[in-house]
Structure 1
Amino acid sequence: MSALDTALDVVSAVCLLLGAALTLVAAIGLLRLSDVLARMHVTAKPQVLGVLLALLGVGLRLRTETDVATLVAIGAFQLITVPVAAHMVGRAAYRTGQVDPSRLEEDELARRLEDEERRRAGDRATGA
């Protein structure tokens, strides 16, 4: 076993441990945090970074083209889907009244919903 293989194995182990630790932090945050928006944040950010670090660790350990290509595809899928899912969960929570408006610094969605409602009311009044 060469020195490069040993170094890559050590880096792989560190990435796997850090990934597992971040995923554990996300799981604990999901259980401990109080509201939907905080839970949504902790499940999206550290969870994805933890998964990416774990994938990097596995990729450094396996080192074959097919395996690395598969891991890259998994990582890309995580990066694309998790933020969109978190956004949709937050939006659904807001619309169903699960979000406390007093905890928001700025409520941009409320303004947009009010503008949309005014536009619809105007369209109904003009018969459009």
Structure 2
Amino acid sequence: MIVAALLFLGIFFFAIGAIGILRFPDFYSRLHAAGKCDALASTLALIAIALFNVRDFDWTLFQSWDNLRVSLKILLIILFVYVATPAATHAITKAAFIVGIEPWEKRKRNR
């Protein structure tokens, strides 16, 4: 039940990120939506996979220890995602700024 809820939350945040990419007005806000939502969604999905992998953990079985090792590796992947996603979005944003892509500004209407 918890695994299914985490997977559905992950899918929900992936969908929200996709909608943000389509709806936001400029490159920088689109990248922000993609970076934040994808990091959270992939974390939720990976936690669900790790929990599903150790659902029948037994201290006496060797196979259970292999499943535990796989789940620990998945947790390391989550750590990597949390380190790599902000660094990648920052590098892409800085490159776009150097190239000269202007941020969007809301203009006031003349009345």
Q: Same-fold call, TM > 0.5?
A: yes
Q: Does 1:48 align with 2:51?
A: no
2:83 equivalent in structure 1: 80
| Ranges of 4+ aligned residues in structure 1 off by more than 3 Å | none
Instruction: Pick the aligned partner of 1:11 from 2, 13, 26.
Output: 2
Percent of counterpart pairs with the same letter? 28
CA distance in 2, matches of 1:24, 1:102: 26
* TM superposition shift of 1:101: 7.2
Q: Deviations over 1:37-79 (max 9, x none)?
A: 1011101111100000001111111112122112112111111
CA distance in 2, matches of 1:98, 1:61: 44
Which one has a larger percent helix, Structure 1 or Structure 2?
1
The one-letter code matched in structure 2 to 1:38 is S
Structure 2 portions without partners, runs of 5+: 55-66, 107-111
The structure number with the bigger radius of gyration is 1
Instruction: Pick the aligned partner of 1:60 from 51, 55, 58.
Output: 51
**Aligned-residue CA RMSD in angstroms?**
1.5
Q: Does 1:97 align with 2:100?
A: yes
CA distance in 2, matches of 1:66, 1:101: 46
* TM superposition shift of 1:102: 4.8
Q: How many equivalent residue pairs? A: 94
